Chains A and B, each alone.
Chain A
Amino acid sequence: MTATPTAAAAQAAEDRMDDGTLDIARQRHTDAKRAERKLGLMLVGPAVVIMLAVAAYPILYAFWLSLNKADLRQPDANKFIWFDNYVTVLSSPIWWTAFGVTMLITIVGATLELIFGMLLAIVMHRTIVGRGLVRTSALVPYAIVTVVAAFSWRFAWTQGLGWLAPENSAPLTEFWPSIGIIILAEVWKTVPFMALLLMAGLALVPEDLLKAASMDGATAWKRFWLVTVPLIKPAILVALLFRTLDAFRVFDNIFVLTSGSNQTSSVSMVAYSNLIRGLNLGIGSAMSVLIFITTGIIAFAFIKFFGAAAPGSDAEGRR
């Protein structure tokens, strides 16, 4: 019993292209796909519904509110006013001060976090003694409730109470010291998270590559810049993206440390004040939408210009 791919056999195979096997293959494929789709959609259903209900619908609602005059203290005066709220917000010095403060905290904070995060990552990755101890204690700031840490810093800098407080001034009542302490609190809390992401990147750099570079005559400094950094660039970008977006939302620390006094409010703080304290939903919502848009621009810029890979994009090998 032998078979050889002769010209006749090849012709036969050609003929079978038209004998319906392709249709059958496609039909089977469609059936299997349909079952798989059904199961897939059923499984993601609840998660999608909740995320839509809590995030998507409300943001649309916020957009609608932002186009209305909606002040809970004057419920009778509510009406549709197009973009007047945005005009009010964007011509308000309070908003722009808060925007400047937020950008300052975000940029300085993220830079410091990247530097210290990298140092901590290298320590956790390289240390030859007490590795478990270092990694465990580095997790403590990550795990502590932000408000708790904020109170700790606030008390530490409170005159007459704290161990860090100067003799004759109250740093949390002045603008620049306040900003400094807010950044310190942010950086302290988030360096470990940054470091963990970077450390995971470091672990992917093959040891042999560094050995080869050192055989090629690269100093430790050059090895870091020429081998390690290019290889962990994706990890750096992802970590920076997460942290920048997070820093831009800064709220807890400012709320506890200064309550936004002395113009130290972030955009989230101003929006919160207008919404909950001022009960001016129209203005507050306009601010919310502006924050949402800014966040979107930052994320887009990261992904577009730095090529930060969105997590979850995967190449699959199923068979």
Chain B
Amino acid sequence: MAEIVLDHVVKRYPDGALAVDDFNLEIADGEFIILVGPSGCGKSTTLNMVAGLEDITAGKLLIDGQVVNDKAPKDRDIAMVFQSYALYPHMTVGDNMGFPLRLAGLDKDTIRTKVQHAAEMLELTQHLDRKPANLSGGQRQRVAMGRAIVRSPKAFLMDEPLSNLDAKLRVQMRTQISRIQKNLGTTTLYVTHDQTEAMTLGDRVVVMRAGVVQQVGSPAFLYAHPANLFVAGFIGSPAMNFFPGQLKPDSVVTALGEAKLPDRVRQQLNGATGTREVIVGIRPEHFEEASLVGDKPGATFDAPVDIVEAMGSDVYAYFTMQGDQAHSQELDDLAKDTGNELHSGGVDVTARLDAGADVRRGQTARLWYDTSKIQVFDASTGKNLITD
């Protein structure tokens, strides 16, 4: 078990492309860190640098206080789980799991005991003599985990370990990985492009974009206080709704009409006074049907509801408001990543309402939103103007 420190780490390819720029992070012993971001954001490169599969161009990587920049992967004592699992097809499950121990020169009995122990933890005991080709996807994934666990390494590195599983299995394995990590207490660096995994697994989450760290923090903190438009749009599902607007001294004007800002928000905005162009972010769950709210402070508007999805526990209402869409480089990046590049003629909004909300397709509904929960971003820099 170990503490891992990335100190001003830079990865630049010889063609000049900057894959990771000035990455700083201190990972505490036993911590579960998630690296998340769209494809090409440098998260896998960062993981490979920690693994030793790619060299570090500048900066320092320390494991347990020791600089390991120039150490080969085998001398770093860290284990890795690959997206493709990378199981050796010519070895049985037991041999796969025992391979690192055999390379380390352990005697056969020790290897068997350790493999048995790991197999029990992962419920693989009855599959130890089978070849990977005869296993299901979930079983293969567990073997890959097992191969990492048997070594009791200083740290686990996981490169999208769940993305080859189907949705249901992915949820199961997610909880299992979380449990194993908590039991073993091994420092873990986990790469994913799936924000749900990031939110559910990590002690802390590192959001990356184009090689640059956007924000580091606990999942709850990132959700409640995104540092910029990118983090706000990336974290949360369904995604946050964005409206271009004008910030006035004590109100904000958007496609939803003019809303008075609560005192607390105004205070948090203290650095940014005066009229200016902003992008307002509202999470889907901060909408509600007006009649269900009572007299809680907030703002109301009329929504021409297109589609209603009743999920049982709540109701999703989709509608389009007249007005310009919010535009920024960060939001465009996100749209490209999700493949959601269709544009309707207005601002598409998703609202998550109480199961008892009376909204119908094709009808206009009176909706309310919580003005104390809104986020206000600078339209040009994308920075969140609300600070603690």
Contacts and interface: CB of A to CB of B under 8 A. Distances in A.
Interface of A: 1-7, 9, 12-13, 16-17, 19-22, 24-26, 28-30, 32
Interface residues of B, number: 25
| SS class, residues of chain A in contact with chain B | helix
B25 to A, nearest CB: 9
A9 B57 contact: no
| CB-based closest 10 A-B pairs | A29-B14, A2-B227, A25-B12, A21-B58, A25-B57, A26-B14, A21-B12, A2-B215, A1-B216, A21-B57
13 contacts: A1-B216, A2-B227, A3-B212, A3-B215, A4-B228, A4-B381, A5-B212, A6-B381, A12-B22, A13-B22, A22-B16, A25-B13, A25-B57
A261 to B, nearest CB: 56
B213 interface: yes
Nearest to A7: B381
Nearest to A32: B55
Contacts of B227: 2, 4
Interface of B: 10, 12-14, 16, 18, 21-22, 24, 55, 57-58, 209-210, 212-217, 227-228, 381-383
B21 A13 contact: yes
Contacts of A17: 16
Contacts of B214: 2-4
B327 to A, nearest CB: 17
B383 A24 contact: no
Contacts of B217: 1
Nearest to B225: A2
A22 B58 CA distance: 9
Given A1-B24, A12-B22, A28-B14, 8 more contacts: A2-B227, A6-B381, A13-B22, A22-B12, A24-B58, A25-B14, A26-B14, A28-B55
| SS class, residues of chain B in contact with chain A | strand
Nearest to B13: A25
A3 B18 contact: no
Nearest to B226: A2
Nearest to B45: A319
Contacts of B12: 21-22, 24-25
A24 B216 contact: no
Contacts of B21: 13, 16
Contacts of B24: 1
A22 B14 CA distance: 7
Contacts of A3: 212-215
B14 A13 contact: no
B212 A28 contact: no
A20 B227 CA distance: 31
Nearest to A19: B58
A4 B382 contact: yes
A5 B57 CA distance: 21
Contacts of A16: 10, 21-22
Nearest to A3: B213
A28 B214 CA distance: 28
A6 B22 CA distance: 14
Contacts of A30: 14
A277 B381 CA distance: 88
A215 B209 CA distance: 46
Contact of A24 (B57, B228, B381): B57
Considering residues A4, A9, A30, which has the most beta carbons from chain B within 10 angstroms of its beta carbon?
A4
B209 to A, nearest CB: 8
B210 to A, nearest CB: 8
A192 B10 CA distance: 57
Contact of A9 (B10, B18, B212, B382): B212
A24 B55 CA distance: 11
Contacts of A20: 58
A265 B382 CA distance: 83
Nearest to B330: A5
Contacts of A25: 12-14, 57
A78 B65 CA distance: 80
A3 B217 CA distance: 12
A7 B383 CA distance: 12
A21 B56 CA distance: 10
Contacts of A1: 24, 216-217
Contacts of B22: 12-13, 16
A28 B57 CA distance: 8
Nearest to B25: A1
Nearest to A28: B55
B67 to A, nearest CB: 15
B51 to A, nearest CB: 13
B77 to A, nearest CB: 23
B151 to A, nearest CB: 25
A24 B213 CA distance: 22
A137 B381 CA distance: 72
Contacts of B10: 16, 21
Contacts of B13: 25, 29
A86 B345 CA distance: 80
Considering residues A7, A12, A25, which has the most beta carbons from chain B within 10 angstroms of its beta carbon?
A25
Nearest to A2: B227
A16 B22 CA distance: 10
A69 to B, nearest CB: 57
Contacts of B213: 3
Nearest to A5: B212
B23 to A, nearest CB: 10
